[in-house]
Structure 1
Amino acid sequence: MTEQPPIPDDVHADYANEAVREALNALQATPDYEHLAAFLNALRDGYLVVDVTGTPSKKRGHRARTIRSTTGKPVLPIFTSMAELRALAPARRGEQIKGAVMPARDALALIGSDQFVAAEFDKASAALVMLRKYVMLASGEGEITAELLEGMR
């Protein structure tokens, strides 16, 4: 097993990735390729939160909780903060909400772990659904520009 780097002091139960949230708000206010590129680039830094509510499996431990699209396909919910995840609590009928604060690229890479068609960011407030191809792009290393995104249409 590889050794994990120490968790920074600024990552805690109330962690919020403000840079990603600001880029998300800007994208929703002005939905264009420039803002999409800025959002995807912002997703690469810091940490994101994944919902792991539920009983862990003895073999696999905690698993990321999924939601379904209108066609029944799996969608990966990802959150910019624990507060965003906790905002779903009333919809969960009293279940104790559990989240995993993960390095951003690791959280984004989860989309490749199953047949996810998309990711939904901050479901309780922004509810931005993003296709798998864009999330996979953000989890990678290459430069993300508006021109690149426009060519992906």
Structure 2
Amino acid sequence: MTEQPPIPEDVHADYANAAAREALDTFQATPDYEHLAAFLNALREGYLVVDVTGASSKKKGHRVRMIRSTTGQPVLPIFTSMAELRAMAPASRSEELRGAVMPAQAALALISTDRFVAAEFDKASASLVMLRKYVALAAGGDEITAAVLEGMR
């Protein structure tokens, strides 16, 4: 079994990736390739949260919850904080929510584990839907610039 690195002290039940959230807000305020590149690069750092509520079994462990697009295609919900995950549920059910705080690039790489067509970031507040190709780019190690993104159109 491979040894896991120790969990940093700043990763806890109320973890928030402030840099990613700030870049998300900036991109939504000014949606251009430069700000998209900044957002994708910010996503690579720190940790992100995925929803694993009610999706576990003894044999398979936890599974990431998926949501469906209006056309029924699978979408991967990703959150910049546990608070964003909790904001999705009514107050009466917020205690039932379970999130997994994961290294950012591992969370982004989940896009390739199923037929996900997109990821939706911070569904309760920002609700930014991003195509799979951009999330996969952020999950990888290639350079992300405005010029690279414009060439992906």
- 1:45-94 Cα distance to aligned partner (Å, 9 max, x none): 00000000005112211100000011101000000000000001218x72
- Per the alignment, in what secondary structure is the counterpart of residue 100 of structure 2? strand
The CA RMSD over aligned residues, in Å, is: 1.2
Structure 2 match to 1:2: 2
- Give distance in 1, aligned partners of 2:20 and 2:58: 34
- Give distance in 1, aligned partners of 2:24 and 2:62: 27
Structure 2 match to 1:128: 128
- Give distance in 2, aligned partners of 1:55 and 1:25: 30
Structure 2 match to 1:36: 36
- Per the alignment, in what secondary structure is the counterpart of residue 147 of structure 1? helix
- Per the alignment, in what secondary structure is the counterpart of residue 90 of structure 2? helix
Aligned pairs (5 A) from 1:42-61 = 42-61=42-61
Aligned pairs (5 A) from 1:71-90 = 71-90=71-90
- 1:6-53 Cα distance to aligned partner (Å, 9 max, x none): 000000000000000000000000000000000000000000000000
> Unaligned regions of 5+ residues in structure 1, if any?
none
Q: Give the length in aligned residue pairs.
A: 152
Structure 1 match to 2:138: 138
How far is 1:2 from its partner?
1.6
Q: TM-score, normalised by structure 1?
A: 0.96
Structure 1 match to 2:70: 70
Structure 2 match to 1:118: 118
Q: TM-score, normalised by structure 2?
A: 0.96
How far is 1:4 from its partner?
0.9
Which residue identity is paired with 1:118?
Answer: A
- Give distance in 2, aligned partners of 1:26 and 1:135: 18
- The share of aligned pairs that are identical, in percent, is 79
- Give distance in 2, aligned partners of 1:94 and 1:70: 24
Which residue identity is paired with 1:94?
Answer: R
After TM superposition, the runs of 4+ consecutive aligned structure 1 residues lying more than 6 A away are none
132-141 or 48-57, which deviates more: 48-57
